[in-house]
Amino acid sequence: MRIGILGGTGPAGSALAARLASIGYHAVIGSRSADRATEIAKEFVVKFPELAGFLTGGDNAAAAACDLVVIATPWDSAATTVQDNADALAGKVIISMANALVRVAGEFQPLLPPRGSVAAHIQAAVPRSRVVAAFHHLPAKELGHIGEPIDSDVLICSDDPTALKEVSAIVDKIPGCRPLDAGQLSNATAIEAFTAVLLQLNVRYKTRVAPKLTGIRSIPEQK
């Protein structure tokens, strides 16, 4: 499977691309600037030679042409970016990982995008695609530490059960990550907003936290 990261030159998007490449997916970092995306991909390959042949860069069109696509743009440009690539994204699974946040007087606060969440806003912008909300809470720096596990649960929600199962299978391959079915896409509102709490904890305790839920001993097989 080829996975494209639209707007993937930021810390979280590029680190996710590198992590996906490290577990055997062919990942394409996309950007409005193909040169910038290619440069970032090469930087990862120099640091982690095992990514050679699995991680490349290109423009957003190249990322949108992949089998599955992650939206890693800033939240307020996510809908516009997918609309610009709507034909290429038709019928595909799209992962929304953006969080609508603002920092006011040193405190992170969630914003309420149109339709309640960034994920729902993307789904409305490209109704022919199958949107899944995931990867909101994984620390970017730890994502980029290839070879080291990430001790985190990944909350995943979608209105498409098949798409949710496909994304869960990808998450399950990332060492240390556990995919959890968090319900329908409407729950993305709470998942995205909770990121503000995690970021505030990072600031207050000078760390990088990731959610790990207790009490779930086994994951039922998804039908």
**Residue 31 is assigned to a structural domain of this protein:** yes
**Residue 177 is assigned to a structural domain of this protein:** yes
The average pLDDT across 151-160 equals: 97
**What predicted TM-score, i.e. pTM, was given to this entire model?**
0.94
**Residue 105 is assigned to a structural domain of this protein:** yes
Cα 106 to Cα 47, 64, 86, 154, 193, distances in angstroms: 34, 36, 37, 27, 17
Strands (E), 10-146: 26-31, 55-59, 68-71, 93-96, 101-104, 107-110, 130-133
- Whether residue 114 has pLDDT greater than 90: no
**Residue 216 is assigned to a structural domain of this protein:** no
The 10s digit of each residue's pLDDT in 70-103 is: 999 999 999 999 999 999 999 999 999 999 999 9
CATH code for position 85: 3.40.50.720
| Structural domain range at position 123 | 2-205
**Residue 215 is assigned to a structural domain of this protein:** no
**Residue 223 is assigned to a structural domain of this protein:** no
**Residue 101 is assigned to a structural domain of this protein:** yes
CB of 110 within 8 A of CB of 101? yes
**Residue 187 is assigned to a structural domain of this protein:** yes
What is the structure's pLDDT at 106? 84
The average pLDDT across 124-128 equals: 97
Query: pLDDT-based confidence at 219, cuts 50/70/90?
Result: low
Number of domains in the chain: 1
